[in-house]
């Protein structure tokens, strides 16, 4: 079942890429904070690299002004996420999260089997807004679409 407004972010671990690579649990990432997390089907894929992540990079300061942390997560390994972030010039505060085994993605109910396209288990394209570990809003894209999870759309939907 897909996570819904009012539910807590499930407790799992992911790999966070900053100056180095570290394992971190979701309570550490979400508790006592406002967070927008967006999930992408894959690093270095066309829509993810040309629109989704670049939109959050371009609007990163707009989220910061509202006191909101921004996380990008994908079912990729930490090395791929690090290289992808570097290739697009991700600002230091925008956290790249590697969900290499898909544990977080499955726990959120946002996994999709793209084996037919040679990609295996991946994340659906989405964005969510959480306060203190509780989801307030979720925007999940229909397959092949990129509308409701864009940085621009998310900013329009957030409370001031």
Q: Which of 16, 8, 11 is nearest to 99 (CA)?
A: 16
Q: What is the CA radius of gyration of the chain?
A: 14
Total residue count of the chain as it appears in this document? 160
Record the pTM.
Answer: 0.95
Q: Give the 3-state secondary structure of 83-105.
A: HHHHHHCCCCCCEEEECCCCHHH
> Which amino acids are annotated catalytic?
48
**What does the pLDDT look like over 34-70, one tens digit per residue?**
999 999 999 999 999 999 999 999 999 999 999 999 9
Task: Report the alpha-carbon distance of residue 38 to residue 30 in Å, rounded.
Answer: 13
**What does the pLDDT look like over 92-144, one tens digit per residue?**
999 999 999 999 999 999 998 777 776 768 899 999 999 999 999 999 999 88
3-state helix, strand, coil in the chain (%, to 5): 30, 30, 40
What residue ranges define each of the domains in the chain, with the CATH number in brackets?
Answer: 13-157 (3.40.30.10)
Q: How many CA atoms lie within 13 A of 128 on its CB side?
A: 26
């Amino acid at each position: 079942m897909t996570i819904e407004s009012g539910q807590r972010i499930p407790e799992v671990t992911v790999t966070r890429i900053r100056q180095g690579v570290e394992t971190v649990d979701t309570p550490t990432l979400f508790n006592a904070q406002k967070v927008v997390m967006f999930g992408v089907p894959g690093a270095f894929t066309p829509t993810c690299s040309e629109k989704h992540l670049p939109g959050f990079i371009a609007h990163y300061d707009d989220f910061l002004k509202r006191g909101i942390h921004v996380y990008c997560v994908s079912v990729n390994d930490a090395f791929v996420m690090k290289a992808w972030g570097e290739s697009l010039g991700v600002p230091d505060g925008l956290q790249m999260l590697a969900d290499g085994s898909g544990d977080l993605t499955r726990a959120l109910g946002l996994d999709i089997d793209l084996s037919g396209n040679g990609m295996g288990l991946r994340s659906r394209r989405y964005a969510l807004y959480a306060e203190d570990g509780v989801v307030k809003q979720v925007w999940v894209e229909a397959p092949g679409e990129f509308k409701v999870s864009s940085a621009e759309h998310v900013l329009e939907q957030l409370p001031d």
